[in-house]
C-alpha cells in the first residue's frame, strides 16, 4: 500500500454507521468449519463495492479478536439492514448456509457490532499511513484551520493552538 505522507483527517457528510463484523477461530484445526466463513465474506464485499447504492462507504479487513474483522462504514443503518435482509444479495444465502452447516459446532464464532455516528460526532487523524479507515473514503484532507486538532474537528474549540505542533 502506498503511504500517504503527512497528516490526514476525514470528512463524511451527514450521519453514518460503523459496522464491525467478523469471526473468531475457536478451533484452529477445524479449517473445514472456519474457512467457509472466511470465504463467504469476499463475494459480499465485491458485490457491495460494485453496487455503491447499497450504502457501503468503505471497508477494511484486519486481524483482531482472534480472527478476521471487517471495519465497515455505511451511509445509514437502514441501508445496512436492507442489505442484510435482501433476497437479491449475497448475504442472506451465506447467513442461511452458516446456520445450516456451522452454527452450533463451536469451531468458529461470528459477531457484529453496529454504531450510529451523528454528523460531526467523530474525528480521526492518520499520519504517514496508507489511506485506510475513514481516510480511504472520499473527503479525506490535510487537517488545517478548523480541522487541525481533535477538539476543533469535534467543534469544541475555535481558536486554541494545538498542545503539540505537528
pLDDT digits (tens, 9 = 90+) for 23-56: 999 999 999 988 888 899 999 999 999 999 999 9
Structure-block grid coordinates of residue 60: 477494511
- Which band of pLDDT confidence, cut at 50, 70 and 90, is reported for residue 158? low
> Smallest Cα–Cα separation from 10: which of 144, 155, 119, 135?
135
| CATH tag for 1-158 (out of 3.20.20.70, 3.40.190.10, 3.40.50.720, 3.30.70.100) | 3.30.70.100
Q: Which residue has the higher pLDDT, 98 or 49?
A: 49
Q: Which of 9-13, 29-33, 85-89, 123-127 has the highest mean pLDDT?
A: 85-89
Structure-block grid coordinates of residue 3: 503511504
Annotated domain spans of the chain: 1-158
- Entry pTM: 0.85
Phi-psi region of 6 (alpha: psi -120 to 50; beta: other; left: phi over 0): left
Strand partners, 132: none
CB 148 within 8 A of CB 162: yes
In angstroms, the CA 36 to CA 30 distance is 11
Amino acid at each position: 500500500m502506498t503511504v500517504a505522507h503527512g497528516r490526514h483527517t476525514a470528512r463524511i457528510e451527514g450521519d453514518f454507521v460503523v459496522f464491525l463484523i467478523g469471526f473468531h477461530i475457536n478451533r484452529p484445526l477445524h479449517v473445514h468449519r472456519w474457512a467457509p466463513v472466511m470465504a463467504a465474506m469476499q463475494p459480499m464485499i465485491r458485490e457491495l463495492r460494485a453496487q455503491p447504492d447499497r450504502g457501503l462507504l468503505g471497508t477494511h479487513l484486519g486481524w483482531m479478536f482472534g480472527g478476521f474483522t471487517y471495519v465497515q462504514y455505511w451511509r445509514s443503518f437502514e441501508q445496512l439492514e436492507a442489505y442484510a435482509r435482501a433476497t437479491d444479495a449475497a448475504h442472506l444465502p451465506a447467513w442461511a448456509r452458516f446456520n445450516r452447516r456451522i452454527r452450533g459446532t463451536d469451531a468458529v464464532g461470528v459477531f457484529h457490532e453496529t454504531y450510529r455516528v451523528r454528523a460531526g460526532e467523530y474525528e480521526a487523524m492518520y499520519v504517514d499511513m496508507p489511506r485506510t479507515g475513514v481516510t480511504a473514503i472520499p473527503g479525506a484532507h490535510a487537517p488545517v484551520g478548523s480541522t487541525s486538532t481533535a477538539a476543533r474537528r469535534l467543534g469544541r474549540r475555535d481558536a486554541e493552538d494545538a498542545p503539540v505542533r505537528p
